[in-house]
Amino acid sequence: MDGLFLPHCNFGTEYLCARLAKDLHIPVLLWGPLDERPEPNGVRLRDTQCGLFATGKVLRRFGVPFTYMTNCRLNDPVFARA
């Protein structure tokens, strides 16, 4: 295995991601899609950015180096280059 790709679309898996990354001892890439606008009533379908921030924080606590790829859509050119 060359690396661990941790795609996010919400939060709640931070510690699982960090434990897995620490155990595997391989490069880690964090990524998440762009969040949509909140609904008119304020409801959000997901909170990708929060999940990425939380996972990055826990990875740092576990001493796991990682790379973050800018949030984008799967069909964006930046995703294809990564």
Tens-binned pLDDT, residue by residue, of the chain (82 aa): 799 999 988 888 899 999 999 999 999 999 998 887 888 888 877 788 888 999 999 999 999 999 999 888 888 898 887 6
Render 41-62 in DSSP notation, one character per residue: TS--S--HHHHHHHHHHHHHHT
Token pair listed for 17: 């991601």
The span from the CA of 21 to the CA of 13, in Å, is 12
Question: pTM value?
Answer: 0.83
Q: Which secondary-structure segment (H or E) carries 68? A: strand 67-68
Token pair listed for 2: 């060359």
